[in-house]
A and B are shown apart, each in its own frame.
Chain A
Amino acid sequence: MSEEAIKLGGKKKSTFMDKVKELLPEGGNLNLCLTCGACSSGCPATGLEGMDPRKFLRMAALGMDEEITTSPWVWMCTMCQRCIYVCPMKIDIPQLVYNARAAWPREKRPKGILGSCDMALRNESGSAMGTSPDDFRFVVEDVLEEYREAQPEFAEMQAPIDKQGAEFFLNQNSREPVTEPDELVPLWKILHLAGIDWTYGSKGWGGENYCMFLADDDAWKHLATNTVQHADELGCKVYLNTE
């Protein structure tokens, strides 16, 4: 009477997307996609390298791991999170992209980001420009002195480094002290006029974290720990991340 049941082939192969799902709360909703394409309408990287967020997620869902983990498109994503913001199903596409980056051999990742991460690991500044704590201190003090003299209304302005017990710990994109030192000043002025008690740190003052964009988790953690620990050592109550 009844025919023998058809047996499907062996266990489903674990795919890249399955692994990412395990890492994320609620599996990042990665299998809730209705393919509405709102992500691709909003994404600044849509159309680059023949890729867009909807296509990327569909390819991941189809188990096209090889294509997903080698597409240079993941490095064109700015991690702006626009896709998840407009997604009606709140699908964590940015984390899928991030983990696809992490699947690349470190030495093959884009040179600019890789070099900036390596620079930040060189000394305790955490600066992608490789600037040392001494150089940072020199620039800050030099610029401060110049403005206090040139603009008498800011004669009392401070730009402290390693001030114990300051309320706010402020970090700083390291391009300014190196290439545009005058750009440091507007924020100092605002903090001064607002009567804020703040400090830079000699360690971990570099605010940008290229190791995060490189998807190098260990280095990212190292940089973040370095700066937060220093803020704790100084007894600061609030960490002000300017990046």
Chain B
Amino acid sequence: MNSQTKKVMVIGGGIAGMTAAWELARAGVEVALVEKAAFLGGYSIQYACKATDQCQQCGACGVEKMLANVIGEPRIRVYLAAEAAAVAGDGPFTVTLRASGNQPEAIDAACGKGYEKDPAACAAARGYSIHNAVFYKADGGFDPRRVAAPESVEVDAVVVATGFVPFNPDEKPTYRYRQVANVVTGLDLERAKRVYGDVRRPSDGALPKKMAFIQCVGSRDERLGHLWCSQACCPYALRSALATRFKHPELDITVFYMDIQNTTNSFDTFYEQCRQSMRFVRTIPVDMYETEDGGVRTRFMAEEDGLPVEEIFDLVVLSVGIMPGNDNPALAEMLGIGLGAEGFFARPDLLNTSATVRNGLFVAGTAGGPMTISGSMASAGQSAAAVLQYLGRA
């Protein structure tokens, strides 16, 4: 197959988009990688390593590695703070890009070379990773040598890897997220771990002594029209809990759940480890009240005797699910590919899940439905293979 002269646009620079871009570039394809935010990595780059004394296969370091691959790959041209405004033609396609309006996060002078001096804090300020540093000049703007300005691009195929949005817990008001300081989302917890290298209570920055995870927040919810299991929340919450417990063996952790989603092929061992070091309660609490010293008081039914119990936790983590991107309806219309009933991009061919209804347009990662980091990477690999096959035919 001769794909030397072929060019592909990948819309979305999260883990799926980066993986698809790199796989295609490795096969000799020129790639235009377009990301709406001012950094690469999407939500996946905001998750922290969850190793105990051994790797838990969470995939967070895989995202770092893929980001390093992408910035070191000359065949990938990166557009940041850019989005696709129009896609014309039937292959080749003319894609018109425009500025998304996002800007690199402001960064104080101390972080001018801060990625070397204080990688954690400066990474949180801009792009969550030292690898994103190459995209910015010392004064904070984009470096034009590394970030291409929005333009019109001719490509032979397009990969849609626009990802997801985390569930907004405001839609389940009894959890009182934003009103009670120490009720956070799983993503908040992960971001904080990237900044501080550890778990912290938002109210006073202290290490919690008693912590709770509440599963299935926003997923499996008929009322909100979200019937799906988000697949990623059990893995991230349990691995995060286990890693935190490993670091702080005195920490008391409760996991409130309805059932537990499988994580890896060694799941039974992993789950047994979790059950030995944490308390699992098969009831979802609903009401959160703030105590005077910043604790979170909640009520739930104890399984053993069916009686209601009230307990106070220092930190409550809502394991929020994977929701279709807010832009999906507009994007689907602009691209001429439909959405499924749940709001993710439709994948009409069950045996070729990267195909869309439009020839030459492909889907990768959570744009097509909930999946984990490793699931997104596998999905992107399949999409890249489908694109290469298509280019061979084109």
Residues of A at the B interface (CB closer than 8 Å) are 29, 32, 34-38, 40-43, 46-47, 50-52, 54-55, 86-90
A/B interface sample: 28 pairs, CB < 8 A:
A29-B222, A36-B216, A36-B283, A37-B282, A37-B283, A37-B300, A37-B301, A38-B283, A40-B283, A40-B300, A41-B299, A41-B300, A42-B286, A42-B287, A46-B306, A47-B301, A47-B307, A47-B308, A50-B306, A52-B301, A86-B286, A87-B223, A88-B220, A88-B221, A88-B222, A88-B223, A88-B224, A89-B223
Kindly provide the distance from the CB of A28 to the nearest chain B CB, expressed in whole angstroms: 12
Apart from A41-B284, A42-B286, what 19 extra A-B contacts exist at CB < 8 Å? Answer: A29-B222, A32-B222, A35-B282, A36-B216, A37-B282, A37-B301, A38-B284, A38-B285, A40-B308, A41-B298, A41-B301, A43-B308, A46-B301, A52-B301, A54-B301, A55-B306, A88-B220, A88-B223, A88-B224
- Considering the complex, which residues of chain B in the window 287-314 have a beta carbon less than 8 Å from any beta carbon of chain A? 287, 298-301, 305-308
Kindly provide the distance from the CB of B223 to the nearest chain A CB, expressed in whole angstroms: 5
* A32 contact set on B, CB distance < 8 A: 222
Size of chain B's interface in residues, with CB distance under 8 A?
Answer: 23
Query: Which residue on chain A has the smallest CB distance to residue B299?
Result: A41
Kindly provide the distance from the CB of A93 to the nearest chain B CB, expressed in whole angstroms: 14
CA distance A97 to B305 in the complex (A): 22
CA distance A227 to B306 in the complex (A): 42
B359 within 8 A of A: no
B174 within 8 A of A: yes
CA distance A41 to B175 in the complex (A): 13
Kindly provide the distance from the CB of A74 to the nearest chain B CB, expressed in whole angstroms: 16
Query: Which residue on chain B has the smallest CB distance to residue A86?
Result: B286
Kindly provide the distance from the CB of A44 to the nearest chain B CB, expressed in whole angstroms: 9
* B216 contact set on A, CB distance < 8 A: 36, 88
B258 within 8 A of A: yes
- Let me know if A41 and B287 touch, CB within 8 A: yes
Residues of B at the A interface (CB closer than 8 Å) are 174, 216, 220-224, 258-259, 282-287, 298-301, 305-308
CA distance A29 to B223 in the complex (A): 11
CA distance A193 to B308 in the complex (A): 45
* B222 contact set on A, CB distance < 8 A: 29, 32, 88-90
- Let me know if A46 and B258 touch, CB within 8 A: no
Kindly provide the distance from the CB of A7 to the nearest chain B CB, expressed in whole angstroms: 33
* B306 contact set on A, CB distance < 8 A: 40, 46-47, 50-52, 55
CA distance A55 to B174 in the complex (A): 22
* B220 contact set on A, CB distance < 8 A: 34, 36, 88
Query: Which residue on chain B has the smallest CB distance to residue A29?
Result: B222
Query: Which residue on chain B has the smallest CB distance to residue A55?
Result: B306
CA distance A126 to B251 in the complex (A): 59
3 pairs of A and B residues whose beta carbons are closest in the complex: A37-B283, A36-B258, A88-B221
* A36 contact set on B, CB distance < 8 A: 216, 220, 258, 283-284
Q: A47-B301, A86-B174, A86-B286 are in contact. Are A41 and B308 (CB under 8 A)?
A: yes
- Let me know if B258 and A37 touch, CB within 8 A: yes
* A86 contact set on B, CB distance < 8 A: 174, 286
* B305 contact set on A, CB distance < 8 A: 47
Q: A46-B306, A46-B307, A47-B308 are in contact. Are A41 and B223 (CB under 8 A)?
A: no
* A47 contact set on B, CB distance < 8 A: 301, 305-308
CA distance A46 to B12 in the complex (A): 48
Kindly provide the distance from the CB of A135 to the nearest chain B CB, expressed in whole angstroms: 43
Kindly provide the distance from the CB of B120 to the nearest chain A CB, expressed in whole angstroms: 36
CA distance A99 to B43 in the complex (A): 48
Q: A36-B258, A41-B299, A47-B307 are in contact. Are A90 and B223 (CB under 8 A)?
A: yes
CA distance A16 to B325 in the complex (A): 42
Kindly provide the distance from the CB of A38 to the nearest chain B CB, expressed in whole angstroms: 4
CA distance A88 to B301 in the complex (A): 17
Query: Which residue on chain B has the smallest CB distance to residue A88?
Result: B221
Kindly provide the distance from the CB of A32 to the nearest chain B CB, expressed in whole angstroms: 6
CA distance A32 to B258 in the complex (A): 14
Query: Which residue on chain A has the smallest CB distance to residue B303?
Result: A37
* A88 contact set on B, CB distance < 8 A: 216, 220-224
Kindly provide the distance from the CB of B10 to the nearest chain A CB, expressed in whole angstroms: 35
CA distance A89 to B284 in the complex (A): 13
Contact of B258 among A34, A50, A51, A52 (CB under 8 A): A34
* A55 contact set on B, CB distance < 8 A: 306
* A54 contact set on B, CB distance < 8 A: 283, 301
* B282 contact set on A, CB distance < 8 A: 35, 37
Query: Which residue on chain A has the smallest CB distance to residue B221?
Result: A88
Query: Which residue on chain A has the smallest CB distance to residue B301?
Result: A40
- Let me know if A41 and B283 touch, CB within 8 A: yes
* B259 contact set on A, CB distance < 8 A: 34
CA distance A43 to B174 in the complex (A): 13
Kindly provide the distance from the CB of A188 to the nearest chain B CB, expressed in whole angstroms: 35
Query: Which residue on chain A has the smallest CB distance to residue B224?
Result: A88
Kindly provide the distance from the CB of B357 to the nearest chain A CB, expressed in whole angstroms: 31
CA distance A32 to B221 in the complex (A): 10
* A35 contact set on B, CB distance < 8 A: 258, 282
